Amino acid sequence: MAARTANANLITVGAITTMGFSANAADTFFAGAVVWADTGGGAQVTAAAADSPIGICPFNQVIATAADEVQVIVAGVIGIPQATLTAADEGRLLGFDAGTLTDNFEDAVTLSGLTLADNDCVLGKALRYKSGRMFIQIGTNTGGLFLAAQDVFW
């Protein structure tokens, strides 16, 4: 899939935690976009190898210059419209292959769909699929990177 070009209609369940991060560059962070921690520091929507997800963008944010603050949901349950995952994916960790890191949540796959190569990463846990939305838990597992030599996520 391509990078996000529009806002997603997010639903939050219960309490969420948002934090501000320094943006790496001027960019548009669409609601529902996966926000990535750059290996050199800062937040971005365009990821590269070894970057890891911080969380989900809660609303549309147009960042004018580098170092401006971008708000990110770092903990909580979020319902995002989803066409690629189903109820069969409930309870599974979701992540990205290192070669297909995007800000588009629909590019996330269950861990069984990953190649398990260095820098594959975890976004969160799929909790419930209902009415075209996957409710995911962001927090504890978010940002874990796979290290092939140890055959483990860190």
Number of domains observed in the structure of the chain = 1
The one-character DSSP state at 4 is: P
Determine contact, residues 105/34, Cβ cutoff 8 Å: yes
Cα dist from 134 to 45, 71, 77, whole Å: 21, 22, 10
Element (H, E) at 106: none
State pLDDT tens for residues 36-80.
998 888 999 988 878 889 999 999 999 999 889 999 999 999 999
Q: Which amino acid is at 69?
A: E
pTM: 0.89
1 in a structural domain? no
Determine contact, residues 97/82, Cβ cutoff 8 Å: no
2 in a structural domain? no
Neighbours of 93 (CB within 10 A): 22
81 in a structural domain? yes
Select, from the ranges 86-90, 116-120, 144-148, the one with the highest average predicted confidence (pLDDT).
86-90
What domain range includes position 31? 11-153
Determine contact, residues 70/29, Cβ cutoff 8 Å: yes
The dihedral region occupied by 139, where left means phi > 0, alpha psi between -120 and 50, and beta the remainder, is left
State pLDDT tens for residues 16-32.
999 999 999 999 999 99
